[in-house]
Structure 1
Amino acid sequence: VAELRAGKTLTKVAEDYHTTPSTVYKTKRRWDTYHNNGSRPRKGHPKKLTAIQIIRINSYINRHRHLTWNDSHWRRKWRSKKRILLSEENAKERLQFAQYWIPRVSELLLSCFSRECTIQNAPNDPDGWVFRRLDEKFCKDLVNCQSHGK
């Protein structure tokens, strides 16, 4: 910047410092605007936590090991869902399903692992499954009749 103010051209200063004239121009402009040649902050959202907050969180975690944190997003991890308790009604339903399919295991395997079968969640029941063969493709009782229009 001092050499430019002394009267040297951009190209001559760039040659002396083995850089491009555009870099010299940007450096001069930064000095004129900010009176500083340090790097400017990057664009984007500012950090959510200050350095001291990060240090305090880490020290708290080290003292309380039962808590874990996701370092990249500073969010707490959640433990996986516990297994839903098996009620008597559900146990009976599962037993009936097993008793029905034990003599027909070959048909069940054929329908589950064939290209002619579509497997998807049951309508309105994310825990249930529907196995459809080609001839059952458009059965009304297997299709969710809920309207998703306006």
Structure 2
Amino acid sequence: MHIQLDASDLRGWRVVRLAGDLDVYAAPDLTSALTQEVDDWAARRTPGPDDRGGGLVVDLQQVPFVDSSGLGVLLGAYRRAQAAGFGVRVVSTSEELGTTLTMMGLTAVLPVHPDLDSATAPSGPEAPPDDGAS
């Protein structure tokens, strides 16, 4: 019922590591925490002219369970980040989570990466279509 959050900066990205179940019980507190992380990052980040990254990475490697409330929290963080001008990437090797996000069509907005190195790469094929990249 309890989820832990640890946040740090890595290669121009704000990385939020979560541990515990991302479920209906954790959703209210996590919504508040991610809202604060997105707002703080929006105030601190200084994107360059060719910036395609520098957003929020949510590391779910230590999250064994995500329910629909948890997905809602992640989508809420994505919407807030988009409004602030950056994206959200997810780190997870959970086949179940990857399948769920794919089936729901959410990998276009919440790209899933197998590790922090690929998630914090400055560019990638999952860059949002409206970012002006070619």
> Normalising by structure 2, what TM-score?
0.19
Indicate the structure with greater strand content. 2
Pick 1 or 2: higher relative contact order, CA cutoff 8 A, min separation 6: 2
> Normalising by structure 1, what TM-score?
0.18
Q: Which has the greater radius of gyration? A: 1
